[in-house]
A and B are shown apart, each in its own frame.
Chain A
């Protein structure tokens, strides 16, 4: 068995385990998708038919749900997902400068990953940290009063850290 096939069978096994735990819940699809993404980092297209089969849904329905929600991803992210808040409170406190700086210094647009696979930049609309805007989130950590200088320091710190703080 080649590596890709073994990865696929691992992924399917993971999804089977998750589904056997969660499928009996009413409205189980979102909990299953969350658990799948938490385990695999994204929701591979190959597992969609299996999720559909386990929940007695069509593949189109499962795909439709995955594509509806910003949080679910169908391809792997970079090592770190850096979320920049674009909402009003952050715009009122220098968020536009921060956004531009992030895109220019990383040389990517929102929802893209740096070529070295380190950083995926995503927009977010409010982290509930509006008393200390602008806000950035990496993993489960929220950062306050972000500006270009602090953003660069954060990137340096991420370059040295193996994984996000969970």
Chain B
């Protein structure tokens, strides 16, 4: 009698590995070899249900079923129970304490609309066969049959806007580059995901790297660029390893190189490593860094789309922006555009972080509310204490009090309350947080990470820390609060880029909504 081989999935993802996924995988590998078990180990990406990692899945006739979290300390018991046996439907109820049921039925996952993340956590990130069989390369194949203008038009119609945070319409940027008549143009992927509380770029690169590569090739076809660079932060060692392998596979199989997918069109791709400067996530600073210089911000204009990398027209897009392009081409712009609210079309992968019980990746259409994310998906705080403040959009995003958590998640609705969705990071704080210290940290971070080119950012941030210290110490608080507000306005109006221009948003919002925290020391 031959036994069918059951696939078992153990994620290879930074967070899953930080929780012991490598040890779980190694134990399965050993067990399979020693006992010649009919199991095949697959290292998939993560589904992004991080409070359940390491999440182990088995193939069964009821689809993939999940167990988790399979912590290394529980591994012996887990293996001894042989949970991969008798998974068939109808045989019996599975009673293992870590059993979570069919993966796709877990509410956190079931209630998402995964378009950009449609393969993430499902496939082996480095298997091109997996990629193809799950819809990969369909977008590229369509793009190869379209004119440049048709591709740009499709991206315009989709309503896709820059997912790095600035939300600039992607199609307009591409059109600008397409309309230049330069011989050399570049596609640059901004993979310097420095915002605290964000990890969707990392997940995409670790769990579905071919999707990013495909998106970059399509961008190249659209604007007439045959060279691309991925500028990856140094803080992502696993993403680097996976991308290096994925680019190798893409060259070996002819997806990259002198004849993209056998089309005769040319596209080369190179991975470049950043060196720990937050400011290099700003597009002009990133270009300086790619050119081998200090990552100092360039004044705009000229726009990078006109004079970008090495002075040539350049598309600079975030990882998720580029990785959203294949599905837009494959399924059509109308399909993507049908999701969303107002002028925010499609989906945004939100990332739940900080003090939250069920932290993970939630890709949903624009238009839901923050409350839904925090409570329906997130399940409240991890500490069990009341939630006090939420920072959306990274270290330059505003702190939102409870009264603002019913704001619809779309770009314009957030802009209307002087907040931003940014790259979709959502960091929750419980009631133990001192918001004066969060405001101070925003200024301190700006002082550490400022490129130094413009005065409001370089000096303003240092003075900001000092003024907040004086307010908290009770030194003429009324006068100093006025001074801090004026300083914030100067930074907003006078800085060259978003670093100095937006650092005041967390500061001002903390001051406006949590004023008591700034004067608490004096009233005690």
Contacts and interface: CB of A to CB of B under 8 A. Distances in A.
Contacts of B275: 30, 33-34, 69-72
A113 interface: no
A131 B278 contact: no
Contact of B272 (A30, A88, A144): A30
A133 B197 CA distance: 9
A11 interface: no
A130 B294 contact: no
Contact of A129 (B15, B433, B445): B15
Interface in B261-282: 272-278
Interface in A126-150: 126-133, 135, 137, 140-144
B278 to A, nearest CB: 6
Interface string B453-481: 00000000000000000000000000000
Contacts of B445: 87, 125
B50 A131 contact: yes
A130 B354 contact: yes
Nearest to A31: B272
B17 A142 contact: yes
Interface stretch (A2-10, A21-29, A101-109): A21-29
B14 interface: yes
Contacts of A130: 196-199, 351, 353-354, 359, 425, 427
B441 interface: yes
Nearest to B451: A68
Contacts of B429: 92
Contact of A27 (B17, B292, B359, B427): B292
Interface stretch (B217-225, B235-243, B367-375): B235-243
Given A125-B278, A128-B193, A131-B51, A142 B292 contact: no
Summarize A's interface: helix, strand, loop or mixed.
mixed
A65 interface: yes
Contacts of B438: 88, 91
- Number of contact residues on A: which range applies? 35 or more
Interface in B218-252: 234-239
A64 interface: yes
A120 interface: no
B292 A128 contact: no
B19 interface: yes
Interface string A48-89: 000000010000010011001111100000000000010111
Contacts of B161: none
A158 interface: no
B308 to A, nearest CB: 13
Interface residues of B, number: 62
Nearest to A96: B437
A126 B15 contact: no
Given A68-B294, A126-B194, A143-B18, A93 B395 contact: no
A105 B289 CA distance: 37
Contacts of A125: 194, 196, 278, 395, 445, 448-449
A155 B353 CA distance: 26
B124 interface: no
A132 B359 contact: yes
B16 to A, nearest CB: 10
Interface string B39-59: 000000000001101000000
Interface string B320-357: 00000000000000000000000000000001111100
Contacts of A33: 275
Contacts of A18: none
B352 to A, nearest CB: 7
Contact of B273 (A34, A89, A135): A34
A128 B50 contact: no
B427 A126 contact: no
Of all A-B residue pairs in the complex, the 7 with the closest CB atoms, nearest first, are A87-B196, A29-B292, A130-B353, A92-B354, A69-B275, A131-B50, A71-B276
21 contacts: A30-B290, A31-B273, A68-B294, A68-B296, A70-B275, A71-B234, A87-B395, A88-B391, A91-B438, A91-B441, A92-B428, A93-B382, A124-B235, A125-B278, A125-B448, A126-B195, A126-B196, A127-B235, A127-B236, A128-B14, A128-B235
Interface of A: 26-31, 33-34, 55, 61, 64-65, 68-72, 85, 87-93, 124-133, 135, 137, 140-144
